Amino acid sequence: MGTNRRNFLKLLGTAGFTMAVGKSFGALAKKKSPVEFYGILYDSTLCIGCQACEYACAEEYGLQEPQDEPQIGVVRKTDETRRLVINSYDTSKGEQYIRVACNHCNQPACASACLTKAMLKTEEGPVIWREDKCMGCRYCMISCPFDIPKFEYHSANPKIQKCRMCYERIQDGKIPACVETCSEGALIFGKRSELLEIAKQRIYAEPEKYNHEIYGETEAGGTSVLYLASVPFHELGFNTKIQKTSYPELTKGFLYSVPAIFVLWPALLLGLRQATKDNHIKEIENE
Amino acid sequence: MSNTDITLARDNYGSSIWSFLIKEFKPKNKFFTPFNIISIPIMLLGLGIIVIRFWKGIGSVTNLTQEVPWGLWIGFDVVTGVAFAGGAYVITFMVYILNMRNFRSIVRVTVLNGFLAYIFYAGALLLDLGRPWNVINPIIGNGFGTSSVLFLVAWHFLLYILAMLIEFSPVVAEWLGARRARFILSGMTVGAVIFGITLSTLHQSGLGALYLMAKDKIHPLWYSEFIPILFFVSSIFAGLSMVIFEGSISNKVFFRQIDKKNHTQHNTIIHSLSKICAGAMFAYLFLQVLVFVHGKHWDLLNSPMGFWYLTEMIGFVLVPMVLFFLSYRNTNILMIKVAAIITMLGIIINRLNISVIGFKWDAASHYVPSWMEIVVTLAVIFTEIWIFRWIINRMPVLRASPSWVKDKIPDQQ
Ligand code: SF4
Ligand code: SF4
């Protein structure tokens, strides 16, 4: 029965592709079916900071090999030459590593900001950038609360560089390069809901070892990349004050008012124009 | 070329339209004026920098960083420039919608100003786009990012430029002596005005809405969910201050163009505009206070950014508002002009506080525009003034329409 319903909604969605009205039905249908995004779970307690993932990522995308190593006191940032970095922090539990890359938000600010849909949240979960659409306005960079998209400022044909969760590999049935290469099991790839379960089980099983929160469970409305660590996340350089609702939500109010104004304003203006038609006579007398 | 074209042009000048145009393209005034001597080298330098920018990438001429991806070209040229161009929708609103006819003599010049501002400042956007060849994508549908505020703003820029072109087109027709065209085009004015005001409301506020998602990046004294409304309200007095400022300069520089009646009327117009400015600024200040109280940021006031915020609100909003008000009561034209200049500085400060100064205010390294960004900005402004002057000297913008035009401002058909 459940599948029947889903099929029906899917049909509606497909039909909607041809009609503007139907399109919003399609969106509704998508929301109703449980979202099964893929994600990555990173367990900082297992990470040994070997940078194997960094090397794998660089090789996969033809970027330069890492030029430096994680070091306490140095915040390495992703940039146009690296999509993934491992950082090291001196925490209340000694030296700990943390991975920094795109979090593949469930409702990404970057994708909702993009005026060409070059930045896209795929149905599988990865947020990908598409070269043939992007106009290089960098509004995605303004909007991303994690400062992830990076821009090639020194190129005449600049690209946006950011992690794409190896979208093409996933489609080929493989797992992301960084996950595949990690020999410590600090990275796992899977359905987001399952990863959440695993993360919770780990916290229950070893409550002493873990800090009792999963970064990414609710941050920015939930992200497809989830993090476990032994210490509170602000000690690892993460922004813990980030809002728990999605960022695109912030522009909803404005965007929703647009059609209303488009209908109301012209009518109002015409009305005013009629109402004030004789005004000028009075005004001239006043002068 | 059709026969009618020839006759149309002959109406005016007794020569064919082509020789007329060639004649018009020749410079009409002295060439070595101080303005030309300053502006030409800067425009040439700017052009050179633009070549480098397209050849070596944006990073080779700007100081933009991965954390601050929008700098002077967006924060000043686009965000501030468009606020100043707001005069066009306010004045057309007063003249065509509220039928306040004593502002009619400045409609044309204000629309021209707005039109050029949009062409050039929105055009400056192209310089800032990393992949400008894809700029048509959101228009041709290679991705309609309908959830994007920038998508809305981009479309509105385009449509509004068209609307202003229609509003201004009767002037061009008068210049070319195209009577029929003028008749048809002026019939479209009111429609274009209504459409234009609607678009302006939305994209003036939309420019503010662009920054809504940068919640954690903008200093809390300037970030609030009300940015769009604040941007809209401030665009009213920003635009009018620009009208006052530009009008005072035009009145001196182009005095030969302006007929006597309008000359004397100009002070009356400035006088009534000051009242509107004072009112709009009062509403704006009131909103700002509400937003501030709502945000509960008392503690932030006692910090360098807090002082800067107070400077903006008191020195550049409250003070010019009081000046506008007082000079309206005492009919002090000079003080109105001073108030307009302070207001304009205040708008520049406000827009830059949101887009540049308060953006990532807590980051380790700050963005400061490079000299090349500044030169390009100046070059854009100077080019705009050149075109503005070229048009004013040729078309009946400030001067009266040719005698065959019966209604100076197309209206009431
Ligand atoms: S982390 Fe930033 S770049 Fe990645 S999906 Fe979220 S908003 Fe987009
Ligand atoms: S830079 Fe490209 S991907 Fe980012 S918002 Fe602009 S068009 Fe979209």
- Our CA angle for B267, B272, B276, nearest 5°, is 140
Instruction: Please say whether the beta carbons of A45 and A57 come within 8 A.
Output: no
Residue type, B267: N
For domain B70-398, the CATH architecture is Up-down Bundle (1.20)
Strands (E), chain A: 38-43, 85-91, 94-100, 119-121, 127-129, 150-151, 160-161, 187-191, 225-228
- In this prediction, residue B15 carries a pLDDT of 59
* Beta carbon of A118 within 6 Å of any ligand 2 atom: yes
Q: Which residue has the tokens 């606020």?
A: B83
Q: Do B57 and A118 touch (CB under 8 A)?
A: no
Which residues in chain B have Cβ-Cβ distances shorter than 8 Å to A139?
148, 150, 210
Q: From the alpha carbon of B145, which atom of ligand 2 is closest?
A: 8
ipTM value: 0.88
How far apart are alpha carbons B41 and A201 in whole angstroms? Answer: 69
Q: Which CATH number fits domain A38-77+87-106+165-247: 3.80.10.10, 3.90.550.10, 3.60.10.10, 3.30.70.20?
A: 3.30.70.20
Q: Measure B201 CA to nearest chain A CA, in Å.
A: 9
Does residue A275 sit in helix, strand or coil?
Answer: helix
Q: Do A112 and B130 touch (CB under 8 A)?
A: no
Query: Tens of pLDDT along A210-255?
Result: 999 999 999 999 999 999 999 999 999 999 989 999 999 999 999 9
One DSSP character per residue, B35-102 reads: HHHHHHHHHHHHHHHHHHHHHH-GGGT----SS----HIIIIIIIIHHHHTTHHHHHHIIIIIS--GG
- In this prediction, residue B3 carries a pLDDT of 40
The residue of chain A nearest to residue B52, with distances taken between CA atoms, is: A156
The ligand placed nearest to the CA atom of residue A131 is 2
Domain extents in chain A: 38-77+87-106+165-247
**What's the whole-model pTM score?**
0.88
- In a structure prediction context, what are the per-residue pLDDT tens digits for chain B, which is 413 residues long? 344 444 444 445 455 777 777 777 777 777 778 888 999 999 999 999 999 999 999 999 999 999 999 999 999 999 999 999 999 999 999 999 998 888 888 999 999 999 999 998 878 888 999 999 999 999 898 889 889 999 999 999 999 999 999 999 999 999 988 888 998 998 999 999 999 999 999 999 999 999 999 999 999 999 999 999 999 999 999 999 999 999 888 888 887 777 777 777 888 899 999 999 999 999 999 999 999 999 888 889 999 999 999 999 999 999 999 999 999 998 889 999 999 999 999 999 999 999 999 999 988 788 999 999 999 999 999 999 999 999 998 899 988 888 888 765 544 33
Q: Do A113 and B205 touch (CB under 8 A)?
A: no
In which residue ranges of chain A is pLDDT below 70? 1-35, 279-287
Q: From the alpha carbon of A136, which atom of ligand 2 is closest?
A: 1
Q: How many CB atoms lie within 10 A of CB B174?
A: 25
- For B277, phi and psi rounded to 5 degrees? -60, -50
Residue B345 CB burial class (10 angstroms; 0-12, 13-18, ≥19): middle
- In this prediction, residue A104 carries a pLDDT of 96
- In this prediction, residue A279 carries a pLDDT of 59
How far apart are alpha carbons B397 and B328 in whole angstroms? Answer: 27
Domain extents in chain B: 70-398
Which residues in chain B have Cβ-Cβ distances shorter than 8 Å to A253?
225
Single out the residue of A87, A100, A95 nearest to residue A225, CA to CA.
A100
Q: Do A137 and B128 touch (CB under 8 A)?
A: yes
- In this prediction, residue A9 carries a pLDDT of 40
How far apart are alpha carbons B98 and A272 in whole angstroms? Answer: 7
